[in-house]
């Protein structure tokens, strides 16, 4: 089978398109013919060497799968050949999704929502699970609460906006001016142009000085230290960014704030919950660009570019028929 292989840590040129052996499902495993995958910041973090001890080289990376079951191993009861499925591979535990076939444990796989294309499903599995883990499991966002989502037009951010609205929260989000109408269409209540206005000032003005109940950090920088200034009492900060710089969060003490750091855990339950929202028309991923399997290095380079013009996610058409 064809696969994109990471041969060394570094830039996008560290990938090679190779012929590798097709995997075989073991006990409790499913062999999936991958139709689509996608690119997230986690992908380029792995590629550049942020987790060298966890990624033995050469490696097939990638963290989203949408495809069709080709074969099931002994003991599998939930799936049969021909089923359309989606999931996030177990990160740092075996091969990833930049390949024509992938093997995964039955327990992390879900039935693909019928209303989503493979490109759309592959663009939602990781970011959708991440947003669910952050807002529902860790932050415990409730009906009537307020949330500030940094980067509301991004891969995780545009899903988080929709999820927060489905929960019944008032949604603030930071965006560029060019993306205001996009996040408004997702249901965001207050759009903050971070190039023109300080988000703390905007939040405090719009909440009458009370602050928001939750801050969802998808951008890093000094967000951890500044978030208490925008928080209400007993507020929660949830971050998915592996920020290396030291942060002074002394202001969080005065707000009785709690901090949560997320590295997504894989399970079928989150996928089924997301599927329910999709079926009700409350959630849909936005595919901002599509690349072929061979062009994954170009997709990485674009995602890392600070002015990439992207909204939503970059999808990868592993099945060449999906490239328009």
pLDDT tens, residue by residue, 254-263: 899 999 999 8
Hunting for tokens 């997301």 — which residue is that?
A: 274
pLDDT at 324: 64
The pTM score is 0.94
Number of H helices, E strands in the chain: 10, 15
Q: Per residue of the chain (324 residues), what is the pLDDT tens digit? A: 999 999 999 999 999 999 999 999 999 999 999 999 999 999 999 999 999 999 999 999 999 999 999 999 999 999 999 999 999 998 888 899 999 999 999 999 999 999 999 999 999 999 999 999 999 999 999 999 999 999 999 999 999 999 999 999 999 999 999 999 999 999 999 999 999 999 999 999 999 999 999 999 999 888 898 999 999 999 999 999 877 778 888 888 989 999 999 988 778 889 999 999 999 999 999 999 999 999 999 999 999 988 888 899 999 999 998 986
Coil, strand or helix at 307: coil
Burial of 195 (0-12, 13-18, 19+ CB in 10 A): exposed
Domains of the chain: 2-124+285-322 (3.90.180.10), 127-261 (3.40.50.720)
Strands 258-261 and 231-239: parallel
Sequence-distant (6+) residues with CB within 8 A of 199 are: 148, 150, 172, 174, 192, 230
Strands in 51-189 per DSSP E: 65-72, 84-87, 101-105, 110-111, 146-150, 170-175
Measured between alpha carbons, how far is 236 from 218 in angstroms, rounded to an integer?
A: 14
Largest CA distance in the chain: 61
pLDDT of residue 182: 96
């Amino acid at each position: 089978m064809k696969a994109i292989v990471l041969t060394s840590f570094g830039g996008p040129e560290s990938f090679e398109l190779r012929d590798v052996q097709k995997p075989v499902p073991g006990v409790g495993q499913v062999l999936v013919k991958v139709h689509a995958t996608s690119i997230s910041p986690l992908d380029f973090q792995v590629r550049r060497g942020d987790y060298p001890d966890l990624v033995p080289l050469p490696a097939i990376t990638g963290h989203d799968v949408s495809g069709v079951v080709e074969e099931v191993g002994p003991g599998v009861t939930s799936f049969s050949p021909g089923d359309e499925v989606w999931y996030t591979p177990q990160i740092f535990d075996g091969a990833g999704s930049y390949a024509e076939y992938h093997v995964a444990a039955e327990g992390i796989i879900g039935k693909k929502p019928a209303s989503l294309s493979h490109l759309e499903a592959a663009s939602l599995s990781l970011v959708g699970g991440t947003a669910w883990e952050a807002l529902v499991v860790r932050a415990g966002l409730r009906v009537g609460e307020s949330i500030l989502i940094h980067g509301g037009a991004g891969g995780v951010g545009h899903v988080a906006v929709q999820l927060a609205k489905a929960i019944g929260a008032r949604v603030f989000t930071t965006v560029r001016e060019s993306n205001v109408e996009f996040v408004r269409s997702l249901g965001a209540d207050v759009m903050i142009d971070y190039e023109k206005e300080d988000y703390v000032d905007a939040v405090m003005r719009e909440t009458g000085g009370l602050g928001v109940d939750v801050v969802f950090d998808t951008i890093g920088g000094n967000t951890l230290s500044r978030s208490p200034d925008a928080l209400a009492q007993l507020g929660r900060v949830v971050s998915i960014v592996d920020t290396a710089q030291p942060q002074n969060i002394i202001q969080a003490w005065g707000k009785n704030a709690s901090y949560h750091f997320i590295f997504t855990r894989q399970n079928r339950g989150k996928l089924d919950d997301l599927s329910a929202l999709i079926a009700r028309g409350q959630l849909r991923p936005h595919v901002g660009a599509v690349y072929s399997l061979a062009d994954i290095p170009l997709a990485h380079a674009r995602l890392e570019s600070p002015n990439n013009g992207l909204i939503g996610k970059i999808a990868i058409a592993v099945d060449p028929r999906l490239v328009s």
